[in-house]
Amino acid sequence: MSHIHVNTKGYAEVYTPRRLSGKKVNDPVYLGKVVNLEEGIFYSRQRGYFHYTIEGGFDDCDFEAPTDKERLILDFGPAFLLDQLLRREGYDNLFSGILKKKTDSLMALLFYRVLEKGGYYLAEDWLAGSYASILFPKAQLQSQRVSELLRELGDEAVVRAFFMRYLKKVIPQDRKTGILIDSTGLPNNIDFYLTAVNNHGGEINNETRLILVVDKLTKKPLFFRYNAGNVPDVSTLLATKDELRIMNVDIGMIIMDAGYPSDKALDELIDDGVSFLSRLKPNRKLYKQLVITYGKDALDDSNIVKYPGRLVSIICKKVRLTDKHDGFAYIAVDHDRRHLEWTKFTKDALDDGLSIEERKEKTATQGFFVLVSSDAIDVQDVLQLYYTRQAIEQIFDVDKHDLNLLPLRVHNEETFRGHLMLVFLASITHLLLAEKLQKSRYSAAQVTSIFRNLKCKVYENTILVKEPVKKMNDISKILCISIPSRIVEGKKNGN
């Protein structure tokens, strides 16, 4: 029969007897430091605090570890600010309901991801010096615990349940939703099926492709998917549309880049009553026909459209988009880009001795681009509508540079999906803050940096908050948040 043995230094092992070549031997499993033998609570560096019994095996433990050295002064401002923001916007209950048994750990890790740029292995040290340790007293951010948390967060059932609740919150059920869709590469050398060689825009990487969907109206991130790096964008459009439909998103319009539309996809979108606007790839036959046929008309000065920072001429023509459906094409030329391309090409062509006829043929389509749509859109509006796509590029930029989307340091799909989920939650939080600051002179990064200097002193039952400086008071007014002078135990929401 298995039994637990505790040595003289208070460390435990569990022995399981078995027969080997007729002899009785014990297979020891190291448990670690005994915290409470009667209740079966142990501690090891790999697992942190955990519960173990011979009958039930290993299990999570809510044991709150005593600190060896009491933290008397903590970083108060950033964690307090995020906590107040999520409460006021109604996201605290949404996020805390994702992993109900590990709410404190998830929320603390989310705050760390939004506020710090370090790796997960530094999360435990950050928590010890942050007011987040008081907001989330049961949080366990040891490296092993973080890995376990990401695996649980990446469980497919957990992800689906979250998106059903989240999409119901952010999308009114009585309106059709216009969406932006785009993808980005996540370079990595992880040995799993999602890593594959991809040639995207001439850049070759070992990568996984992350697909993101954003609300055209609110610019909020709605959903993410992922694929192996060698799955082309054109293969993912209809699958993404179908998955959103299953989650009760009534899609009215899709705005996408040139990699997504195919004749099959466009036919299905039109048949389903979904409008679209997309750039057309230059290697498409329709693109070449349109530029050759209407290029000179587009270059006429009467077709110039004002667009911030660019000088663009554009005309609209009704065309046969696919074998089944008509649509509209917008033949456009970016004059600055055309001039730069013409200048570079002509210099090289003269060095190479190309004839005038050869140069004219090569430069005829320079600076042109073509947009296609299922519906007629005023030429004065079509560029502004298409370039709402920049919102999704900005989210990718924030995810990669501010929220540590990269580099990837995971070893299986569940942990990978959990990491993407955490970054998605961090994106929502970061964008909430950025939205509130939109008309101010502060950025989200500036605000968290300024509030890092707001400290608090921790006493037995009371927290005293240091007096805020002028910038902190200004930001608090913008965010409609009141900074307390003291917080009494049991009233940690700042009220």
The pLDDT confidence band at residue 65, using thresholds 50, 70 and 90, is low
Q: What is the pLDDT of residues 151-161, one digit of tens each?
A: 999 999 999 99
pLDDT of residue 495: 43
200 has a pLDDT exceeding 70: no
- Give the pLDDT mean for 470-475: 96
pLDDT of residue 55: 84
pLDDT of residue 19: 64
Together in a domain, 54 and 149: no
For the chain, the average pLDDT equals 89
**Which of the listed ranges 27-36, 97-106, 168-177, 280-289 does the model predict with the highest average pLDDT?**
97-106
Q: What is the pLDDT of residues 111-167, one digit of tens each?
A: 999 999 889 989 999 999 999 999 999 999 998 899 999 999 999 999 999 999 999
The pLDDT confidence band at residue 11, using thresholds 50, 70 and 90, is confident
pLDDT of residue 69: 45
Together in a domain, 194 and 293: yes
24 has a pLDDT exceeding 70: no
Domain extent, residue 111, equals 73-153+412-488
- Residue 381 belongs to some domain of the structure: yes
491 has a pLDDT exceeding 80: no
66 has a pLDDT exceeding 60: no
Together in a domain, 144 and 162: no
Give the CATH number, domain containing residue 346.
3.90.350.10
235 has a pLDDT exceeding 50: yes
- Residue 309 belongs to some domain of the structure: yes
Q: Name the more confident of 8 and 455.
A: 455
Structural domains in the chain (count): 3
Together in a domain, 218 and 367: yes
- Residue 66 belongs to some domain of the structure: no
Together in a domain, 148 and 297: no
Together in a domain, 254 and 344: yes
- Residue 68 belongs to some domain of the structure: no
pLDDT of residue 492: 55
Nearest-10 Cα torsion for 437, 443, 448, 451: -70
- Give the pLDDT mean for 177-194: 90
37 has a pLDDT exceeding 80: yes
Please provide residue 43's backbone torsions phi and psi, each rounded to the nearest 5 degrees. -140, 135
- Give the pLDDT mean for 200-215: 86
- Give the pLDDT mean for 71-98: 94
- Residue 446 belongs to some domain of the structure: yes
Together in a domain, 236 and 287: yes
Together in a domain, 192 and 251: yes
- Give the pLDDT mean for 239-260: 94
- Residue 55 belongs to some domain of the structure: yes
Together in a domain, 197 and 295: yes
Together in a domain, 149 and 162: no
**Which of 401, 420, 437 is the C-terminal boundary of a domain?**
401
pLDDT of residue 34: 87
- Give the pLDDT mean for 372-391: 94
pLDDT of residue 222: 97
**Which of 367, 401, 435 is the C-terminal boundary of a domain?**
401
**Which of 377, 401, 425 is the C-terminal boundary of a domain?**
401
Q: Which residue has the tokens 């979108």?
A: 269
- Give the pLDDT mean for 28-57: 85
Together in a domain, 330 and 285: yes
- Residue 407 belongs to some domain of the structure: no
pLDDT of residue 466: 95
The pLDDT confidence band at residue 463, using thresholds 50, 70 and 90, is very high
Together in a domain, 310 and 356: yes
